[in-house]
């Protein structure tokens, strides 16, 4: 008779939208992929009653309003950090120094200097695994597209056109929040959305050598309980991008695009074909090869990476939270000595360099 399964202790910082996503992933990863079983040990939120309620709902053994106690708890092996961006650096640094592995939501931090500091801290703690929450990279359709590009199925990539638009800030009556500050939010649409598009562009085309960008804040003030407050970061950003390979791209992101919910959309043109993708239809990949009359629709299915672990039948659909389960699997594999699928902090810093270059470009070229 076999013994008890291997386990890994989990701590969670933050219980909002992404905190719940992490909790669901930790609950499902062993059943889906047959990994080591996570033990949901300790959860933290600034409000202890919220923390207690979330711990009961998410299945954590204990709750606290002191995040420091999570990162130092001896039963915790890995810390999920899903708090506002301005807290990412102190929390991740403390976790690494306490000997924990770190699963950190994107963006890495609110400033480029803080992102660099996290890379330096991780380098001085080489035994700890870091991974960033770029979950859209885990999409079976995206993984299939990436494989097609790597195998030369559309020839040499020439141009990519990408947008990531949402409308969560489109309503001018939306109250002011930490997301609209430099200290806690950092960048605006670039930090919330654009970094995801950059991560996919780089995964498909490799490193970036130059950007020319511009940004705009369309709603400059918002109301808070203390009265009107300024919006300190951008609502919209766009850029022209040059890759080291010689390929070029256009980039646009907006958090004020009425009607757009998760329009992470790109078209990659190569010398022998084109691939197109839109995350609002995340189970479809459109491909046209040279000589064909038009595009062919490819539905997600078990022939694409990681799909079969969730469902054996094609066309049955994949979901947003499923991406986090794959991410949790990738983290566990790296902790157990496998290759880190990333992005780790080093790779994440390159994404930060690009979005911060776009933010500071003001229409002038910046070399990376």
**Secondary structure of the chain: what % helix, strand, coil (to 5)?**
35, 25, 40
Q: Give the residue-averaged pLDDT of 34-44.
A: 97
pLDDT beyond 60 at 309:
yes
User: Do 235 and 219 meet the contact criterion of CB atoms below 8 Å apart?
Assistant: yes
Instruction: Please indicate whether residue 295 or residue 364 has the higher confidence score (pLDDT).
Output: 295
User: Do 136 and 142 meet the contact criterion of CB atoms below 8 Å apart?
Assistant: yes
Select from 57, 4, 34, 138 the least CA-distant residue to 12: 57
Q: What is the pLDDT of residues 55-68, one digit of tens each?
A: 999 999 999 999 99
pLDDT computed for residue 365 by the predictor: 87
Q: Give the residue-averaged pLDDT of 280-307.
A: 96
pLDDT computed for residue 367 by the predictor: 94
Angle between helices 140-150 and 195-205 (to 10 degrees): 30
Q: What is the pLDDT of residues 353-367, one digit of tens each?
A: 999 999 999 888 899
Least confident window among 2-6, 23-27, 79-83, 266-270: 2-6
**Cα-Cα-Cα-Cα dihedral sign, residues 72, 77, 81, 86:** positive
Q: What is the pLDDT of residues 126-150, one digit of tens each?
A: 999 999 999 999 999 999 999 999 9
pLDDT computed for residue 2 by the predictor: 53
Q: What is the pLDDT of residues 185-210, one digit of tens each?
A: 999 999 999 999 999 999 999 999 99
Beta-sheet pairing, 208-216 with 236-243 = antiparallel
Beta-sheet pairing, 284-289 with 273-278 = antiparallel
């Amino acid at each position: 008779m076999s013994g008890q399964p291997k386990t890994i202790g989990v701590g969670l910082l933050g219980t909002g939208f992404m905190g719940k996503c992490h909790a669901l992933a930790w609950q499902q990863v062993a059943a889906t992929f047959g990994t080591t079983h996570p033990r949901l040990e300790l959860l933290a939120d600034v409000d202890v009653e919220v923390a207690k309620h979330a711990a009961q709902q998410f299945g954590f053994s204990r709750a606290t309003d002191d995040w420091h106690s999570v990162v130092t708890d001896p039963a915790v092996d890995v810390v999920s950090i899903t708090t506002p961006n301005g807290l990412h650096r102190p929390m991740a640094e403390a976790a690494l120094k306490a000997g924990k592995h770190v699963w950190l939501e994107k963006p890495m931090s609110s400033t480029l200097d803080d992102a660099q500091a996290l890379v330096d801290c991780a380098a001085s703690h080489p035994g700890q695994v870091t991974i960033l929450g770029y979950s859209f990279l885990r999409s079976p359709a995206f993984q299939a597209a990436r494989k097609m590009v790597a195998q030369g199925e559309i020839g040499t990539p020439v141009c990519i056109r990408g947008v990531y638009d949402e409308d969560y800030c489109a309503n001018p009556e939306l109250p002011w929040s930490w997301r609209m500050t430099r200290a806690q939010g950092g960048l605006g649409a670039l930090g919330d959305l654009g970094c995801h598009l950059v991560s996919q562009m780089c995964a498909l085309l490799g490193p970036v050598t130059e950007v020319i960008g511009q940004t705009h804040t369309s709603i400059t003030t918002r109301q808070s309980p203390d009265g009107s407050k300024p919006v300190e970061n951008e609502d919209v950003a766009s850029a022209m991008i040059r890759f080291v390979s010689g390929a070029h791209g256009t980039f646009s992101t907006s958090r004020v695009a009425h009607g757009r919910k998760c329009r992470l959309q790109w078209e990659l043109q190569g010398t022998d074909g084109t691939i197109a993708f839109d995350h609002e239809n995340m189970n479809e990949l459109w491909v046209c090869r040279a000589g064909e009359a038009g595009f062919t629709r490819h539905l997600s299915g078990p022939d694409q990476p990681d799909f079969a672990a969730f469902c054996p039948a094609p066309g049955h659909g994949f979901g947003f939270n499923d991406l986090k389960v794959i991410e949790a699997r990738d983290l566990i594999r790296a902790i157990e000595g496998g290759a880190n699928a990333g992005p780790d902090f080093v790779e994440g810093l390159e994404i930060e360099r690009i979005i911060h270059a776009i933010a500071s470009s003001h229409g002038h070229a910046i070399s990376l």
